[in-house]
A and B are shown apart, each in its own frame.
Chain A
């Protein structure tokens, strides 16, 4: 039995049909076709599939797709503006904050959620914000540095 679901994905309206009980990760990847969202554990523990729902970081693999009706969903596919990268993306590149890259989309979204509500976070706040995201290449230090870099470039921009 399929159910219609309508939500906004990176600012665009999306309408699709999902299986009853389908999770948001499968809805985004298999139905809508946004492959920038990755799956790592399918049980809500690794943070790889982190997306923003109405601005808050959520693990898509244990979010019911039907519960997203009418919500605004953001994924890394919507992070760059045309050719221009988001300051977080630039900072991740410059700080070598990705090795295998598989946790990167989730890390970026967790970091975006933080910077959107707190443009100048402390190091501790950064560590806390990515606390639900596992990086098995153990590149946490460059990731933390990259997020702090991006926050500094944010403040330069608004200054």
Chain B
């Protein structure tokens, strides 16, 4: 049952959250339960043609020759589309925001770089006719050495996967082969730590497997325009990408979508629209390009596999003093969105914890695997898995309760994050307190009283720029119990160490704790309510 905890951060919220805990019907639910919701494939057109793609059976190979003459004569075949037919046959999705170089062809030209890479498309009167024509295409390949491991791909002499990035790493800002994060001196701090936890984490690629596969139908409209019914999650992104690949003005494309049978990040890649539009253009007929389930698994991008090495150093009193991370994103053969994931990963290396010395190197690496893409928090999710495993291991190593250990190290408002952003609207401590309470997990009284609110920082209502103290005297005194992290450890009987390095955000001296408060904090960030900057 949903429960709204209005006692937490009450002073920073208009008390208008009346929707929570009350059922509200979705606006599209009637269509869903009656089967009337129209997904892209629920539109019917006379003389619809079907596009099917021939895919590489090799992870890495040079194409020596293609013979599609028998396929072109096969019954029902209206058109064969080859790489040379694609007006702009090199693209990268984030080129729309000037991030990265064009590196992926719509149809492979001379080399295939992953199993499932599209080589040639057949447009026919039925899916079956298209499949049967594909079976008549003869391609001869010269297999090339393939690479499937991110660290192997970075070794000198490793086969080059993607000619746009011959060193097998994405290039940031035209010159950097990885994302760096440097904050404090992690090596010096590690040398002084009481415990070190050094681990390797390996994630697998994960396929979104939406129940509706990727697909689209492109329909020639009047005045040289095309109406495109699509499963895309990113309608305008797909429209612009399709316009670029087809070298046409974007106002010649009318994209219709929004009712999507599951996406989860797997429908942002514009996998089908450009070729469907090209086929409609070349044949003058409506064309559907729908991925089979097999294609969805093999050609539809997964969440990229990540390999993450973490070295953490902590003091016996529980403070994490240093973290070093080396992370490798397996981008597969082309960039799609992994370059962006690595940026997010770099910013997230400390997790939601204040760590005074952080060192991170994050690589976006090309291998001969299916290109990876967005999926639910990509760049952060796998790292969080590694970091939270680390937190449990560190808690054991310093002999602390894992929840108390997290509360101790959690961001407080005003703490400086390793990527030089001030922590604001923090709420991990309060979440951990409520989670412990709900799970009947005992934590000690002083940990129950801790708060994310920074000592002495009076909240300013959003947009006023004025300290809230002036306007809300009732909340001028922070309710947080200021906490001396080293002193607390001493109180527990753990040998207290003097801080080996001052925290970059050294807290002001403790103020007297208010008596008998439950959850100390009284602030909440919401998109509606007051929000401190």
Interface set of A (CB-CB < 8 Å, partner B): 19, 33, 35-43, 45-46, 48, 75-77, 79-80, 85, 88-89, 92-94, 96, 98-105, 108, 134-137
In the complex, how many angstroms separate the beta carbon of A65 from the nearest chain B beta carbon? Answer: 14
Q: In the complex, which residues of chain A have a beta carbon less than 8 angstroms from the beta carbon of B213? A: 40
Tell me whether B261 and A35 are in contact (CB under 8 A): no
Chain B interface helix/strand/loop/mixed: loop
Instruction: Tell me the complex Cα distance, A99–B27, Å.
Output: 11
Instruction: Tell me the complex Cα distance, A101–B26, Å.
Output: 11
Which listed residue, A43, A76, A96, A136, touches B26 by the CB 8 Å rule? A96
Closest A residue to B33 by beta carbon equals A89
Tell me whether A100 and B293 are in contact (CB under 8 A): no
Tell me whether A101 and B293 are in contact (CB under 8 A): no
Tell me whether B32 and A41 are in contact (CB under 8 A): no
Q: In the complex, which residues of chain A have a beta carbon less than 8 angstroms from the beta carbon of B26? A: 96, 98
Q: In the complex, which residues of chain B have a beta carbon less than 8 angstroms from the beta carbon of A40? A: 211-213, 261, 293
Instruction: Tell me the complex Cα distance, A106–B76, Å.
Output: 33
Tell me whether B32 and A42 are in contact (CB under 8 A): no
Q: Assuming the A-B contacts A41-B293, A42-B292, A136-B262, are A36 and B211 also in contact, with contact meaning beta carbons closer than 8 angstroms in the complex?
A: no
Q: Assuming the A-B contacts A42-B292, A100-B211, are A93 and B37 also in contact, with contact meaning beta carbons closer than 8 angstroms in the complex?
A: no
Q: In the complex, which residues of chain B have a beta carbon less than 8 angstroms from the beta carbon of A100? A: 210-212, 260-263
Tell me whether B23 and A101 are in contact (CB under 8 A): no
Tell me whether A89 and B34 are in contact (CB under 8 A): yes
In the complex, how many angstroms separate the beta carbon of A57 from the nearest chain B beta carbon? Answer: 16
> What would be 8 A-B contacts, judged by CB atoms less than 8 Å apart?
A33-B44, A41-B293, A46-B293, A94-B23, A98-B26, A98-B29, A98-B33, A101-B29
Given contacts A93-B30, A135-B211, A136-B209, 9 further A-B contacts (CB under 8 A): A35-B35, A35-B44, A37-B35, A39-B41, A77-B34, A79-B34, A80-B34, A92-B29, A101-B31
Q: Assuming the A-B contacts A42-B292, A96-B23, are A76 and B212 also in contact, with contact meaning beta carbons closer than 8 angstroms in the complex?
A: no
Closest A residue to B292 by beta carbon equals A42
Q: In the complex, which residues of chain A have a beta carbon less than 8 angstroms from the beta carbon of B509? A: none
Closest B residue to A39 by beta carbon equals B41
Closest A residue to B126 by beta carbon equals A19
Tell me whether B261 and A38 are in contact (CB under 8 A): yes
Q: In the complex, which residues of chain A have a beta carbon less than 8 angstroms from the beta carbon of B28? A: 101
Closest B residue to A37 by beta carbon equals B35
Closest A residue to B38 by beta carbon equals A35
In the complex, how many angstroms separate the beta carbon of A76 from the nearest chain B beta carbon? Answer: 4
In the complex, how many angstroms separate the beta carbon of B303 from the nearest chain A beta carbon? Answer: 14
Kindly state whether residue B445 has any CB partner on chain A within 8 Å: no
Closest B residue to A88 by beta carbon equals B33
B223-266 Cβ-contact flags toward A at 8 Å (1 or 0): 00000000000000000000000000000000000011111100
Q: In the complex, which residues of chain A have a beta carbon less than 8 angstroms from the beta carbon of B208? A: 136
Q: Assuming the A-B contacts A89-B34, A103-B211, A136-B264, are A38 and B39 also in contact, with contact meaning beta carbons closer than 8 angstroms in the complex?
A: yes
Q: Assuming the A-B contacts A93-B25, A102-B212, are A77 and B35 also in contact, with contact meaning beta carbons closer than 8 angstroms in the complex?
A: yes
Q: In the complex, which residues of chain B have a beta carbon less than 8 angstroms from the beta carbon of A33? A: 44
Q: In the complex, which residues of chain B have a beta carbon less than 8 angstroms from the beta carbon of A135? A: 211
Tell me whether A36 and B34 are in contact (CB under 8 A): yes
Instruction: Tell me the complex Cα distance, A58–B41, Å.
Output: 22
In the complex, how many angstroms separate the beta carbon of B529 from the nearest chain A beta carbon? Answer: 25
Chain A interface helix/strand/loop/mixed: loop
Tell me whether A136 and B210 are in contact (CB under 8 A): yes
Instruction: Tell me the complex Cα distance, A38–B44, Å.
Output: 14
In the complex, how many angstroms separate the beta carbon of A80 from the nearest chain B beta carbon? Answer: 6
In the complex, how many angstroms separate the beta carbon of A50 from the nearest chain B beta carbon? Answer: 12
Q: In the complex, which residues of chain B have a beta carbon less than 8 angstroms from the beta carbon of A88? A: 33
Instruction: Tell me the complex Cα distance, A37–B37, Å.
Output: 11
In the complex, how many angstroms separate the beta carbon of A49 from the nearest chain B beta carbon? Answer: 10
In the complex, how many angstroms separate the beta carbon of A143 from the nearest chain B beta carbon? Answer: 11
Which listed residue, A37, A75, A101, A134, touches B32 by the CB 8 Å rule? A101
Q: In the complex, which residues of chain B have a beta carbon less than 8 angstroms from the beta carbon of A19? A: 128
Closest B residue to A135 by beta carbon equals B211
Q: Assuming the A-B contacts A38-B261, A42-B293, A94-B23, are A102 and B211 also in contact, with contact meaning beta carbons closer than 8 angstroms in the complex?
A: yes
Closest B residue to A47 by beta carbon equals B211
Q: In the complex, which residues of chain B have a beta carbon less than 8 angstroms from the beta carbon of A41? A: 293
Q: In the complex, which residues of chain A have a beta carbon less than 8 angstroms from the beta carbon of B32? A: 92, 98, 101, 104
Instruction: Tell me the complex Cα distance, A2–B179, Å.
Output: 60
The 4 closest A-B pairs by CB, nearest first: A36-B35, A102-B261, A101-B32, A76-B35
Q: In the complex, which residues of chain A have a beta carbon less than 8 angstroms from the beta carbon of B261? A: 38, 40, 100-102
Q: In the complex, which residues of chain A have a beta carbon less than 8 angstroms from the beta carbon of B3? A: none
Q: In the complex, which residues of chain A have a beta carbon less than 8 angstroms from the beta carbon of B211? A: 38, 40, 46, 48, 100, 102-103, 134-136
In the complex, how many angstroms separate the beta carbon of A84 from the nearest chain B beta carbon? Answer: 12
Closest A residue to B297 by beta carbon equals A41
Q: In the complex, which residues of chain A have a beta carbon less than 8 angstroms from the beta carbon of B14? A: none
Instruction: Tell me the complex Cα distance, A98–B210, Å.
Output: 14
Q: In the complex, which residues of chain A have a beta carbon less than 8 angstroms from the beta carbon of B44? A: 33, 35
Q: In the complex, which residues of chain B have a beta carbon less than 8 angstroms from the beta carbon of A103? A: 211
Kindly state whether residue B457 has any CB partner on chain A within 8 Å: no
In chain B, positions 1-53 with a C-beta closer than 8 Å to chain A are: 23, 25-26, 28-39, 41-42, 44
In the complex, how many angstroms separate the beta carbon of B475 from the nearest chain A beta carbon? Answer: 36
In the complex, how many angstroms separate the beta carbon of A60 from the nearest chain B beta carbon? Answer: 13
Tell me whether A76 and B34 are in contact (CB under 8 A): yes
In the complex, how many angstroms separate the beta carbon of A67 from the nearest chain B beta carbon? Answer: 19
Tell me whether B212 and A36 are in contact (CB under 8 A): no
Instruction: Tell me the complex Cα distance, A42–B30, Å.
Output: 26
In the complex, how many angstroms separate the beta carbon of A33 from the nearest chain B beta carbon? Answer: 7
Instruction: Tell me the complex Cα distance, A38–B262, Å.
Output: 13
In chain B, positions 197-215 with a C-beta closer than 8 Å to chain A are: 208-213
Which listed residue, A35, A46, A99, A104, touches B33 by the CB 8 Å rule? A104
Tell me whether B262 and A137 are in contact (CB under 8 A): yes
Instruction: Tell me the complex Cα distance, A76–B36, Å.
Output: 9
Instruction: Tell me the complex Cα distance, A23–B278, Å.
Output: 30
Closest A residue to B30 by beta carbon equals A93
Q: In the complex, which residues of chain B have a beta carbon less than 8 angstroms from the beta carbon of A37? A: 35
B406-444 Cβ-contact flags toward A at 8 Å (1 or 0): 000000000000000000000000000000000000000
Q: In the complex, which residues of chain A have a beta carbon less than 8 angstroms from the beta carbon of B29? A: 92-93, 96, 98, 101
Q: Which of B32, B37, B261, B262 has the most CB of A within 10 A?
A: B32
Q: In the complex, which residues of chain A have a beta carbon less than 8 angstroms from the beta carbon of B34? A: 36, 76-77, 79-80, 85, 89
